[in-house]
Structures are given as C-alpha cells and as structure tokens.
Amino acid sequence: VARVVEAAHGCGLIIKVIIETCLLSEDEKEMVSKIVKRAGADYIKTSTGFAGGGATVEDVSNLKAWVGENVKVKASGGIRTREFALELIEAGAERLGTSAVLV
C-alpha cells in the first residue's frame, strides 16, 4: 500500500483505500486502518457497496478513531436518507458515496 501511495502522490494523485467493512472483523478493521494510516493514504473508504453491506455509523466512528486526522473517511454503501448521511458525517465521514440524490 505504501508504495502505491508513494507513486500516486509523486504524480499528484489522491489515494483512497477501499475496504469491505461488512466482511471484516473489528480486529481486522483496526489492523487495516492502521496499515492505511502508516502508508499515508488520503482516504479510507468503508465499502464498494457491492459486498452486501454498506457504511455504518459505528464503522465510520471507529475508522476515524483508528486513522486519525491525517486520513479522511469516505462512507459508502447503503446511504439512502439525508438523516443517515448526517449521522455518518457526525461520526467522522468527510465524504459520502451515494447512488441517489439526498434531499
């Protein structure tokens, strides 16, 4: 991951590392978050939205705690209401991925 980040940053690109939170245990999520943080990625993203589960408030909150201030959290998958989107932002998401317009 670190080599990809280094190469991408050398070209002025932003790197998002996508993990499928619904497929990982809490210990695995924490371990992956720390790898992403150490590698210097710009974002950690909760999911692709295709693995059956999406973003949760708990996952966003935990990911933000594990990666700290230098890595942003993108919540994605299952965000269908404005209220849920606001909960995710409150939990620490700096960016949201939705397939629908939220009013």
54: in domain:
yes
The percentage of residues in the chain with a pLDDT greater than 70, rounded to a whole number, is: 99
Find the domain containing 41 and state its range. 2-97
Average the pLDDT over 13-30 and give the result: 96
The pTM of this model reads 0.91
pLDDT of residue 103: 64
Nearest to 33 by CA among 75, 4, 68, 67: 67
Q: Please say if the pLDDT value at position 102 is more than 80.
A: no
102: in domain:
no
Nearest to 78 by CA among 55, 61, 48, 57: 55
pLDDT of residue 99: 81
pLDDT digits (tens, 9 = 90+) for 37-86: 999 999 999 998 777 788 999 999 999 999 999 999 999 988 989 999 99
24: in domain:
yes
CATH of the domain at 70: 3.20.20.70
* Burial grade of 11 (CB within 10 A; 0-12, 13-18, 19 or more): exposed
103: in domain:
no
Q: Please say if the pLDDT value at position 89 is more than 80.
A: yes
Average the pLDDT over 25-37 and give the result: 97
User: Alpha helix locations (H) across 14-81?
Assistant: 26-39, 57-67
- Looking at the structure of the chain, the number of domains it has is 1
13: in domain:
yes
Backbone angles phi, psi at 39, to 5 degrees: -70, -20
84: in domain:
yes
36: in domain:
yes
Backbone angles phi, psi at 95, to 5 degrees: -145, 145
